[in-house]
Amino acid sequence: MQFNPEKCRIEDVPMKPFIDQDEIWDLINNTPSSKELVQRVIQKSLNKERLTMAEVAVLINADSPELIEEIKAGARELKERVYGNRIVLFAPLYVGNKCANNCTYCGFRSTNKEAVRKTLDKSELIKEVEALEDNGQKRLILVYGEHRDYSPEYIAESVRTVYGVKKGQGEIRRVNINAAPMEIEGYKIVKEAGIGTYQIFQETYHPEEYKKYHLAGQKADFDYRLTGLDRAQEAGVDDVGIGSLFGLYDWRFEVIGLVRHTNHLEACYNVGPHTISFPRITDAAGTNLTGEYFVSDKDFTRLVAILRLAVPYTGLILTAREPEHIRREVMRFGVSQIDGGTKIELGAYADSVNEDQNLNKEQFTINDNRSLGEVIEELLEDGYLPSFCTACYRNGRTGEHFMEFSVPGFIKKFCSPNAMLTLAEYLEDYAKPHIAKKGWDVIQKNIDKLKETAEPRVIEMLDDRLEQIRKGKRDLYF
Ligand code: SAM
Ligand code: SF4
């Protein structure tokens, strides 16, 4: 789609083409920050309003340890208010790593002649999904290189295959996609297969820096990628995810770029992105990046807190690229989804013999190799409520409707009970006994907490459904 300023307006002012690097740098260089300004901006966010780019710049320019702590505390409070203590779990599933592009940071790039290229055939894909179901997974993100073999029809077919695999009590209830941008017709084809979110990461929002990292193939075209989710929206895919690969360029620029992309989507389609991802670059086969823009742990934890405050209603996704201790820390600032039991080598879920990472078979290094059970155990111990909920998507609560999130009581009525129901299924079907015990204790604690505010009818229905799950019934949700 061509950018259409007539259609895309914020408060009746037509938007400029949406990434203007001078505008972003001007905000970073010239926006003052102070304790008073930071507190005002945090308050706006706690009132559940999305921040403007200038307000985000106030947070970015708050450099002192005291103000950074204040921002992190604000993010923690917002997370509690909007998302409660749920953490949604998913797993990535790499379907094919052929790639015509040459992204210098990625092990799948076309010039990596050492890469072991593989596309799962149907029976291999089924085996992977069976192994994931055996672990208790219910939500997947399918990942593809960018190659003519991975046409919209091929992607749609693989999504259908995944939904069709039912092993024991297992089934995949939501399939998200991370693949190359398409034409409008292509998105319509994948939408038909019942996808959840379509994710495209812009990698860097800086057009010139972008060119340095994307040397060949379709992905070398910055604008085509930037408008990829506009075409998705035009095709009716109203559930989209954006992201930036931190470490390619100045993190402050990327944070404002993500906010810019968000307000562009809101202005044009009345709905912002469902999720924002903020992967930090990790080692990949044969990559030789200078590290000029590598983001330190200190800045990374800070930027997650800023993103949380910037876009109160958007899910934040944190992956196993990050090590355990960083995952644990930034989860407190408002991450809403994490992966667990992640393997990114093609075919690795079904092939339990080969546990070591081989970078020529993988896109990059992961730093959290724990099983799903171990991740869940830690979440339970830390007071979170692990969730495999897919109810909104299956009840059509996506796109503009997802803004129902702002309806008072939505979390109490839907999200928390559904988290408990899906956790209960996991505990009954897949958890080791000691984890099941911890899990049921956490469910009971959450019911007690919910009783303080939810209508008694909701609690009755929840108790009833939990009892049904204990008796073997599955897939109950509000
Ligand atoms: N090939 C498609 C693409 O590039 O959009 C889809 C998936 S790609 C496999 C998923 C994401 O992984 C990329 O968008 C990029 O942000 C991230 N990625 C690539 N190389 C990485 C690295 N070395 N470290 C961390 N993340 C990386
Ligand atoms: Fe291909 Fe995606 Fe890797 Fe780029 S990031 S080389 S498009 S798989």
Per-residue b or e along 244-274, where b marks 16 or more CB atoms closer than 10 Å to that residue's CB: bbbbbbbbbbbbbbbbbbbbbbbbbbebbbb
- Are 229 and 378 part of one and the same domain? yes
* 21-30 and 251-269 helices, crossing angle to 10°: 120
* C-alpha of residue 108 to centroid of ligand 2, in Å: 6
Select from 99, 215, 362 the residue to mutate for testing ligand 2; criterion: most ligand atoms less than 8 Å from CB: 99
Are 272 and 49 within 8 A, CB to CB?
A: no
* C-alpha of residue 185 to centroid of ligand 2, in Å: 22
Does the pTM of the predicted model rise above 0.85?
A: yes
- Are 370 and 418 part of one and the same domain? no
- Residue-wise pLDDT tens digits, 245-274: 999 999 999 999 999 999 999 988 888 999
- Residue-wise pLDDT tens digits, 189-220: 999 999 999 999 999 999 999 999 999 999 99
**Dihedral sign computed on CA atoms, order 124, 129, 130, 131:** positive
Ranking 334-338, 360-364, 469-473 by mean pLDDT, the lowest is 360-364
Are 315 and 336 within 8 A, CB to CB?
A: yes
Residue 304 within any structural domain of the chain: yes
pLDDT at 408: 59
Percent of the residues in the chain that have a pLDDT greater than 90, as a whole number: 79
- Are 372 and 429 part of one and the same domain? no
- Are 242 and 353 part of one and the same domain? yes
Report which protein residue has its CA nearest ligand 2's atom 8.
145
- Are 461 and 342 part of one and the same domain? no
Classify strands 9-10 and 13-14 as parallel, antiparallel or unpaired.
antiparallel
pLDDT at 118: 93
362 lines ligand 2 (CB under 6 A): no
pLDDT grade, residue 395 (50/70/90)?
Answer: confident
Percent of the residues in the chain that have a pLDDT greater than 70, as a whole number: 91
- Residue-wise pLDDT tens digits, 361-373: 777 888 999 999 9
- Are 295 and 432 part of one and the same domain? no
Total residues found in the chain within this entry: 478
178 lines ligand 1 (CB under 6 A): yes
pLDDT at 412: 73
Tell me the ligand closest to 279's alpha carbon: 1
- Are 369 and 415 part of one and the same domain? no
Structure tokens at 458: 């909701």
DSSP character for 216? Answer: S
* C-alpha of residue 83 to centroid of ligand 1, in Å: 27
179 lines ligand 1 (CB under 6 A): yes
The residue out of 355, 388, 421 marking a domain boundary is 388
Q: Report the run of H or E that residue 9 belongs to, with start and end.
A: strand 9-10
- Are 430 and 356 part of one and the same domain? no
Atom of ligand 1 lying closest to residue 245 CA = 16
Per-residue b or e along 21-45, where b marks 16 or more CB atoms closer than 10 Å to that residue's CB: eeebeebbeebebeeebbeebbebb
Report which protein residue has its CA nearest ligand 1's atom 10.
178
Are 419 and 386 within 8 A, CB to CB?
A: yes
- Are 430 and 334 part of one and the same domain? no
Select from 27, 68, 30, 66 the least CA-distant residue to 309.
Answer: 68
CA distance 70 to 305: 10
107 lines ligand 2 (CB under 6 A): no
Are 245 and 284 within 8 A, CB to CB?
A: no
Mean pLDDT of the 77-105 span: 93
CA distance 431 to 454: 29
Tell me the ligand closest to 100's alpha carbon: 2
Give the domain extent around 446.
Answer: 409-470
- Are 206 and 259 part of one and the same domain? yes
CATH code of the domain containing 166: 3.20.20.70
Residue 1 within any structural domain of the chain: no
Sequence letter at residue 142: L
* C-alpha of residue 473 to centroid of ligand 2, in Å: 42
- Are 250 and 347 part of one and the same domain? yes
Select from 160, 97, 180, 93 the least CA-distant residue to 128.
Answer: 93
Atom of ligand 2 lying closest to residue 99 CA = 1
Residues in contact with 389: Cβ distance below 8 Å, sequence separation at least 6, in sequence order: 86, 88, 415, 418, 419, 421, 422, 477
* C-alpha of residue 153 to centroid of ligand 1, in Å: 22
Residue 28 within any structural domain of the chain: no
* C-alpha of residue 106 to centroid of ligand 1, in Å: 7
* C-alpha of residue 72 to centroid of ligand 2, in Å: 33
Residue 31 within any structural domain of the chain: no
Select from 249, 252, 250, 355 the least CA-distant residue to 307.
Answer: 252
- Are 361 and 446 part of one and the same domain? no
Select from 182, 175, 184, 130 the least CA-distant residue to 157.
Answer: 175
pLDDT at 393: 78
Q: In whole numbers, what is the pLDDT of the chain averaged over residues? A: 91
Atom of ligand 1 lying closest to residue 200 CA = 5
Residue 26 within any structural domain of the chain: no
pLDDT grade, residue 179 (50/70/90)?
Answer: very high
User: Cα 416 vs. chain centroid, distance in angstroms?
Assistant: 19
- Residue-wise pLDDT tens digits, 277-321: 999 999 887 776 668 899 999 999 999 999 999 998 899 999 999
The count of domains in the chain is 2
* 53-60 and 21-30 helices, crossing angle to 10°: 50
pLDDT grade, residue 1 (50/70/90)?
Answer: very low
